[in-house]
Amino acid sequence: MAEKNFTFRRYKDDDHLISEWNKDVVQNGLSEICPTYVHRTPPCQASCPSGHDIRGWLSIVRGLDKPVEDMSWQESAFRRMTVSNPFPSVMGRVCPAPCEEGCNRNELEEAVGINAVEQYVGDWALKNELTYAVPEQESGKKVAIVGGGCAGLTAAYFLRQKGHACTIFDEYSALGGMMVFGIPGYRTPRAVLEGEISRIIDMGVNVRLNTRVGTDVSVEELERDYDAIFWGIGAVAGKNIPIPGADAPNCVDGMAYLRAFNEDRLKYLDGRVLVIGAGDTAMDVLAVARRIGNVQNLAEEDRPDNVILGHTVHDVATVAKRSSADVWVVYRRPITQAPATKHELEAVIREGVEIHDGLAPLEVIKDENGRAKALRVAPVELVDGDLQTKEDQAFEIECSLVVSATGQTGNYEGIEEFDNGRGLMNADSVYRVVDKPGHFVAGDAVNPHLLTTAIGQASIAAEGLHNYLMGDDINARPKIDKHHFKLLDELRTHQLEPSDFNHEETWGTDAADFAVHNYEDRSFAEIATSDLLHMAYFEEEPMYRRKEANITSEDVLNNFQERFSALQEEKAVKEAARCMSCGLCFECDNCVIYCPEDAIFKVDKDKHAMGRYVDTDYNKCVGCHICSDVCPCGYIKMGLG
C-alpha cells in the first residue's frame, strides 16, 4: 500500500516558471487551443501481459458501459474479458495480478481488486454455461498445436475464431498443462479448469492426447499434414541445483514433485523437506508439503522420491497416519527479495514453513546408500552490491528430501533441432520460431513466466500465424501491444457507427456524421500515468476484499480448501466502481460543470456510448484549459487548434 498522501496538487512549486515556451499558449485566461479527447492505455492494462481491457470490463461491471439488447452485465463483462483471455475464472484465482501493481489507485490508498472482480465474472459465466461461438466459416487451413497447456489452448481459441482447423497434440492424459499438473488443485479447482477448457474445445478443436510429437508423431509428418505449427510445449522439467551430490535419488525437481501430487500419486512425505528457491513454484511445493504432511518409518518403496520418479504410487490407507511436515525454505538472498508473489509467501509462512534465507547451497551430503542425508550451506553476505559466500562458516542441515525450485527447462527428446541450448526455443518479436518458416511458439517454451504471459504471447503468435496462413505480411507490433478499447467497435455495438464518406472535399467535420471528430486514439503509444490524472477528485475507498480462508500451521494438514471465496455480486460492483477509468471518460460531469463558457455539453442520449459522453461547441470555446485541469481521468488534452 502506498504511503499516505494527504494533499494532491495538480501544480507544484515553480510551475509558474516557463521552461517550454511552445506550450505557453494562454494569455489572460484565453488561448486558441481547444480540448480534444485522447484515449490512452490505463496502467493496469499496460502491466497485464495478456493485454486485458481491464478498464473496459470494469466499466461494464460498474454500470457505465451498458450491455446491448437483453444481455446481462455479467455476460457483457465476460465477453469483453474473453476478447483477450479465455480463462477468466482460473486467472482470477491464480494470477499474481501485475495489473494491480500498476493501478493508479495505489497513489491514493490501494489498488482496485481486479482479480476478485474477474473471478466473480468468470464463475458466473461457468455457472450460467456461457459458451464461445463456433466460427460461421471455415478457412480451409489446418494448424497443428503441440502442447495443450495455457499457451496451446489460447492459440486454439484465437485461431478457431478465424475459422482455422486446429488439432492439439498433448503427451499427457488430460489437457491443461501446468494449470493441471503444476498448480495444485486447491488453487485451480478442477471443475473450474475443465469448464474453461471445454468451452475452447467445443469451438471445434480436435484433440489427440497421450501423443508426443517427436516420438509418437514426427515433426515432418506435421509439416506435411498441416499448414502451420504452433508450439506450446512449455518448460515442464525443473532444473536440479548445480552442486556436488545433487544426483542423489531424493534430490528432485519441483515440477516433477508437483506433477506427482497433482496426479494423485504423492500423498505424503517423510522427514525434513528442504526446498531450494523462493519463486512461485517453490511456494506451491512448500504449501503442498505442509498439506500432505509426514508419515514416519516408511518402507523403501514408499519413499517420496520413488513416487516422484514414477516408480510407485502411495496407497490411500497410509494417509491416516500423517502428521505435520517439517518444511524449510533455503534461499540465497534475503527473503524480502524473493521473486514469489508476496501473498503466497505470506501464506506459506502462516502455514508453518520455516524460512532460512541468506544461505547458499554448497553440497548435498550423501549417506552410505547414496541418498541425501544433509545439505551443506554457507551464509551469504551482500558486500558492495555483490553476494559473497562465507564458505569458512559452512554447516549442514539434515534432511530426507531436497526439492529444487530454481528454474525450468523443456523436454526436447525427438525435437532436438528446436532446442536453443538452454532448454527453450528461440523466437522473434512476433513469436515466429527463428529459422523455421510456418512455426510459431509462445509461453514457457520461450521464457518461463506467468500464465497471463503465455496467454498474451499466444494471442500475438496466433495473429501472426493467421496472417501467415492468409499470405499477408506480419507487421511490427505497436509500442503498447494490448487488446485496446476501440471507439469504432463501441459505436458499432450501439448502431452509432459513422456513415460512409464520399471522399469529396468538405468543411465542418465537427458536425459531419461520417467522422468521429474531436477524438484521438493514442492507446498504442501512451499510458495514462497518475500525473495526468486529477487525483484530488477521488475519495479514499478501501478495497472490498474476497473472503480468505484463515489457514494456519495448526490446521493446514489435509486442508485443501480454496484460499479465496469469490465476491458476491453487490461487492463485485462496488469494487469495480473504485476504478478511476484512467485515460477514458467515466462521465463525472466535471468538464460540463466547470466550463465557464458552457462550451462543453453532454451528447444526446441516443448518441451516447462509452468514450462519447461529452462534446465541445467550438464557437463558444475560448481555450481556457479549465476542462483539462478538472478532468479526473486524464481524458481531455488541449491541443485542437
Q: In this structure, what C-alpha cell is assigned to residue 404?
A: 529444487
Distance from C-alpha of 80 to C-alpha of 318, rounded to nearest angstrom: 48
- Decide if 117 contacts 95 (C-beta within 8 A): no
- State pLDDT tens for residues 497-527: 888 888 888 776 667 778 777 889 999 999 9
The two counts, helices (H) then strands (E), for the chain are: 19, 23
- Of 586, 592, 544, whose CA–CA distance to 566 is shortest? 544
Same domain, 87 and 50: yes
- Of 266, 262, 261, 259, whose CA–CA distance to 316 is shortest? 266
Same domain, 149 and 231: yes
Same domain, 491 and 414: no
Distance from C-alpha of 142 to C-alpha of 169, rounded to nearest angstrom: 13
Cα separation of the two ends of the chain: 41
Distance from C-alpha of 620 to C-alpha of 626, rounded to nearest angstrom: 14
Pairing between β-strand 34-39 and β-strand 142-146 as defined by DSSP bridges: unpaired
Percent of the chain at pLDDT exceeding 90:
82
- State pLDDT tens for residues 182-212: 999 899 999 999 999 999 999 999 999 999 9
- Sequence letter at residue 378: A
Residue 204 belongs to some domain of the structure: yes
Residue 273 belongs to some domain of the structure: yes
Distance from C-alpha of 536 to C-alpha of 298, rounded to nearest angstrom: 64
- Whether 397 has a pLDDT exceeding 70, the answer reads yes
Residue 552 belongs to some domain of the structure: no
Q: Distance of alpha carbon 402 from its chain centroid, rounded?
A: 30
Question: CATH number of the domain that 190 lies in?
Answer: 3.50.50.60
Residue 162 belongs to some domain of the structure: yes
Distance from C-alpha of 249 to C-alpha of 402, rounded to nearest angstrom: 10
Q: In this structure, what C-alpha cell is assigned to residue 325?
A: 511436515
Domains in the chain: how many in total?
A: 3
Backbone angles phi, psi at 228, to 5 degrees: -160, 160
Report field, pTM of the whole predicted structure over 0.85: yes
Q: Which pLDDT does position 18 carry in this prediction?
A: 60
Q: Please return the burial class of 587, using the count of CB atoms within 10 Å of its CB with bins 0-12, 13-18 and 19+.
A: middle
Question: In this structure, how many other beta carbons lie within 10 angstroms of the beta carbon of residue 34?
Answer: 21
Structural domain containing residue 335: 251-404
- Whether 19 has a pLDDT exceeding 90, the answer reads no
- Decide if 78 contacts 602 (C-beta within 8 A): no
Q: Which pLDDT does position 563 carry in this prediction?
A: 87
Q: What is the mean pLDDT of residues 52-79?
A: 95
Q: Please return the burial class of 570, using the count of CB atoms within 10 Å of its CB with bins 0-12, 13-18 and 19+.
A: exposed
Q: Which residue has the cell 552442486?
A: 243
Distance from C-alpha of 335 to C-alpha of 279, rounded to nearest angstrom: 10
Same domain, 317 and 266: yes
- Sequence letter at residue 145: I
Distance from C-alpha of 82 to C-alpha of 566, rounded to nearest angstrom: 19
Residue 91 belongs to some domain of the structure: yes
Q: In this structure, what C-alpha cell is assigned to residue 531?
A: 500525473
- Whether 394 has a pLDDT exceeding 70, the answer reads yes
- Whether 438 has a pLDDT exceeding 70, the answer reads yes
User: Which of 374, 404, 434 is the last residue before a domain boundary?
Assistant: 404
- Decide if 415 contacts 223 (C-beta within 8 A): no
Q: How confident is the model at residue 641 (pLDDT cuts 50, 70, 90)?
A: low
Q: Which pLDDT does position 253 carry in this prediction?
A: 95
Residue 561 belongs to some domain of the structure: no
Q: Does residue 306 sit in helix, strand or coil?
A: helix
Q: Which pLDDT does position 374 carry in this prediction?
A: 97
- State pLDDT tens for residues 557-606: 999 999 889 999 999 999 999 999 999 999 999 999 999 999 999 999 98
Same domain, 205 and 225: yes
What DSSP line would sit under 203-264, residue for residue?
TT-EEE-S--BTTTB-HHHHHHH-SEEEE-----EEPPP-STTTTSTTEEEHHHHHHHHHTT
- Decide if 358 contacts 379 (C-beta within 8 A): yes
Q: How confident is the model at residue 68 (pLDDT cuts 50, 70, 90)?
A: confident
Q: Which pLDDT does position 1 carry in this prediction?
A: 47
Q: What is the mean pLDDT of residues 354-365?
A: 97
- Whether 15 has a pLDDT exceeding 70, the answer reads no
- Decide if 381 contacts 388 (C-beta within 8 A): yes
Pairing between β-strand 272-276 and β-strand 401-404 as defined by DSSP bridges: parallel
- State pLDDT tens for residues 100-147: 999 999 999 999 999 999 999 999 999 999 999 999 999 999 999 999
Same domain, 124 and 150: no
Distance from C-alpha of 102 to C-alpha of 8, rounded to nearest angstrom: 19
Q: Which pLDDT does position 503 carry in this prediction?
A: 81
Q: Which H or E element spans position 565? A: strand 564-565
User: Which of 364, 387, 404 is the last residue before a domain boundary?
Assistant: 404
Q: Which pLDDT does position 382 carry in this prediction?
A: 82
Alpha carbon separation from 583 to 98, 245, 500, 523 (Å, rounded): 19, 56, 28, 8
User: Which of 404, 426, 451 is the last residue before a domain boundary?
Assistant: 404
Q: Which residue has the cell 492439439?
A: 168
Q: Which pLDDT does position 640 carry in this prediction?
A: 66
Distance from C-alpha of 240 to C-alpha of 247, rounded to nearest angstrom: 8
- Whether 5 has a pLDDT exceeding 90, the answer reads no
Same domain, 516 and 370: no
Q: Please return the burial class of 140, using the count of CB atoms within 10 Å of its CB with bins 0-12, 13-18 and 19+.
A: exposed
Same domain, 603 and 493: yes
Q: Which pLDDT does position 122 carry in this prediction?
A: 98
- State pLDDT tens for residues 289-341: 999 999 988 888 999 999 999 999 998 888 888 999 999 999 999 999 999 99
- Of 285, 299, 270, 277, whose CA–CA distance to 372 is shortest? 270
Beta-strand ranges (E) seen in 277-358 are 326-331, 354-357
- Of 291, 204, 211, 298, whose CA–CA distance to 250 is shortest? 298
Residue 544 belongs to some domain of the structure: no
- Whether 377 has a pLDDT exceeding 80, the answer reads yes
DSSP state of 398: E
Same domain, 388 and 262: yes
Distance from C-alpha of 436 to C-alpha of 420, rounded to nearest angstrom: 13
Same domain, 257 and 395: yes
- Of 515, 512, 521, 522, whose CA–CA distance to 497 is shortest? 515
Q: Which long-range contacts (CB under 8 A, 24 or more apart) does 386-395 make?
A: 387/332, 387/333, 387/360, 389/360, 389/362, 391/362, 394/362
- Decide if 194 contacts 87 (C-beta within 8 A): no
Q: Which pLDDT does position 4 carry in this prediction?
A: 54
Q: Does residue 274 sit in helix, strand or coil?
A: strand
Q: Please return the burial class of 19, using the count of CB atoms within 10 Å of its CB with bins 0-12, 13-18 and 19+.
A: exposed
- State pLDDT tens for residues 402-421: 999 998 999 999 999 999 99
Q: Which pLDDT does position 618 carry in this prediction?
A: 87
Q: Which pLDDT does position 24 carry in this prediction?
A: 65
Residue 6 belongs to some domain of the structure: no
- Decide if 58 contacts 603 (C-beta within 8 A): no
Same domain, 514 and 602: yes
Percent of the chain at pLDDT exceeding 70:
95
- Whether 488 has a pLDDT exceeding 50, the answer reads yes
Q: Which pLDDT does position 556 carry in this prediction?
A: 96
Backbone angles phi, psi at 309, to 5 degrees: -80, 0
Distance from C-alpha of 53 to C-alpha of 45, rounded to nearest angstrom: 6
Same domain, 352 and 210: no
